[in-house]
Amino acid sequence: MTSVRAMFFDVFGTLVDWRSSVAREAQSVLAPLGHNLDWSAFADAWRHEYQPGMEEVRAGRIPFSKLDVLHRRNLERFIPRFGLRNLPDDVLHELTLAWHRLDAWPDVTAALRRLKKNFLLAPVSNGNISLMVDLARRNDFPWDAILGAEVAGDYKPKPRVYLAACEAFDLKPAQCMMVAAHSSDLAAAAACGLRTGHVARPNEHGPGTGETAPGVPVDVAGADLGELAKKLGE
Amino acid sequence: MTSVRAMFFDVFGTLVDWRSSVAREAQSVLAPLGHNLDWSAFADAWRHEYQPGMEEVRAGRIPFSKLDVLHRRNLERFIPRFGLRNLPDDVLHELTLAWHRLDAWPDVTAALRRLKKNFLLAPVSNGNISLMVDLARRNDFPWDAILGAEVAGDYKPKPRVYLAACEAFDLKPAQCMMVAAHSSDLAAAAACGLRTGHVARPNEHGPGTGETAPGVPVDVAGADLGELAKKLGE
């Protein structure tokens, strides 16, 4: 593990609590307009469109579009089920920016600051650059660079995204560790030759819904990012 | 000027003193091997190959290659004139990394920290991502993201580089200001619709060789980055 020089991070679910943040932001936009919804169900419905939206790009059916664009398209796809019709463009835009206002899980920022002493740090997320920048400003994430889908021009778990991140830092895959709360992300990174770290986020999709332990072999695992950092000696 | 949300920075010459840093680094690699050169002339000769090297990419004669690759190729092109032949690959590699170890002009880091309060900040340099990351670590540059040539896949002053930076931040060109010590860079940015800021670096290529004032119309100009920041109210 002493050869690891950079740590790459999944963001949605791993570093930030998208579900309660999107629920809160949707409520703050829509409640003043008289809408009263199950806000957690609203967040879940939006997230449910996430993989199918990216699959259009991964499969080559549409050109690469940044995640903000997919989030907006996905939003318009599911909101009729919540009885929301003919929302003005500015409301749809403001809702889409909910994903720029997600709060970190409480262990994250302090752990990243410790890891920064000995590792290069970057998000390798499917979120676009501006979204990652806004989350970093909001939560004090000390990134060295913003890597991930927009830099690679494709979406995880396509190998190009992990490999483009390694290349941006002039590192071999074995010198990079992907950290995520999702075993599928780690399996894809490991297949590219990266080291892997798992963080448990048992409540990602609501109480008792997330991974409590990795479902694939990993190099290190922690109950949270603080424990993972400690296991790496930080 | 109140509409400006992001500030983009040229790096070589504008933020960092490449000439004395490359001279120092070349000496530290080559002097122990028994070479005694005019180290400033060595740095100047290397820099002299800079624009022709990038022009190969800009003109489409070779695919995009990151600046580290061009620096290495340019190095091998000019060193025979200094009597250096058959240097081992690891020495050539270590020399190339001299460009990752450049020191900031003394006014830069404090000014960037002040600007960070109200603007998104990113380098929009022809340097590659890993080079920019190393310079940021060395000099405490507080970037929100690393933008520029490697993200755009082309070299300044091609319009794509400036426009890709604006797009990465979801901003219109008029919401972004390019800051540089070189009027040609600012003219190209202005042609893309960006605001422009000039910083005087009168000693960039040695005493009395750099621009003391902009040679094109700009929105703001400063004797150094601290003065430019002050003029922007920071």
* Alpha carbons A66 and B62: distance in angstroms, whole number: 28
Q: In the 8-state DSSP scheme, what is residue A122?
A: E
CB contact under 8 A, B150 and A168: yes
**Considering only alpha carbons, which residue of chain B is nearest residue A6?**
B130
What percent of chain B is modeled with pLDDT above 90?
99
ipTM: 0.96
Using CB atoms, which residue from B133, B137, B168 is nearest to A130? B168
Residue B206 has pLDDT above 80, yes or no: yes
Give B1's pLDDT tier (boundaries 50, 70, 90): low
- In angstroms, the separation between the Cα of residue A225 and the nearest Cα of chain B is 22
Chain B contact for A130, CB < 8 A?
Answer: yes
Phi, psi of A230 (to 5 degrees): -60, -40
CB contact under 8 A, B130 and A68: no
Please tell me the predicted confidence (pLDDT) of residue A1: 66
**Considering only alpha carbons, which residue of chain A is nearest residue B167?**
A130
Chain A contact for B168, CB < 8 A?
Answer: yes
Q: What is the dihedral of CA B142, B66, A7, A130, to 10 degrees?
A: 50
Residue-wise pLDDT for B134-186, tens only, equals 999 999 999 999 999 999 999 999 999 999 999 999 999 999 999 999 999 99
Model confidence, pTM? 0.97
**Considering only alpha carbons, which residue of chain B is nearest residue A141?**
B144
Residue B75 has pLDDT above 80, yes or no: yes
- Residues of chain A contacting B153 with CB distance shorter than 8 Å: none
**Considering only alpha carbons, which residue of chain B is nearest residue A137?**
B144
Spatial contact of A15 and A225, defined as CB atoms under 8 Å apart: yes
CB contact under 8 A, B137 and A151: no
Q: Is A119 left (phi over 0), alpha (psi -120 to 50) or beta?
A: beta
CB contact under 8 A, B129 and A68: no
Please tell me the predicted confidence (pLDDT) of residue B170: 98
Question: Which of the residues in chain A have pLDDT under 50?
Answer: none
Mutation site, A5, A72, A129, interface B, largest B CB count within 10 A? A129
CB contact under 8 A, B68 and A170: yes
Query: How do A120-125 and A195-199 pair as beta strands?
Result: unpaired
Chain B contact for A184, CB < 8 A?
Answer: no
A91 exposure class (CB count in 10 Å sphere: 0-12, 13-18, 19+): middle
- In angstroms, the separation between the Cα of residue A169 and the nearest Cα of chain B is 5
CB contact under 8 A, A129 and B168: yes
The SS3 of residue A28 is helix
| Location of structure tokens 């997330």 | A210
The SS3 of residue A65 is coil
* Alpha carbons B196 and A178: distance in angstroms, whole number: 39
**Residue type (1 letter), B68:** D
Please tell me the predicted confidence (pLDDT) of residue A2: 74
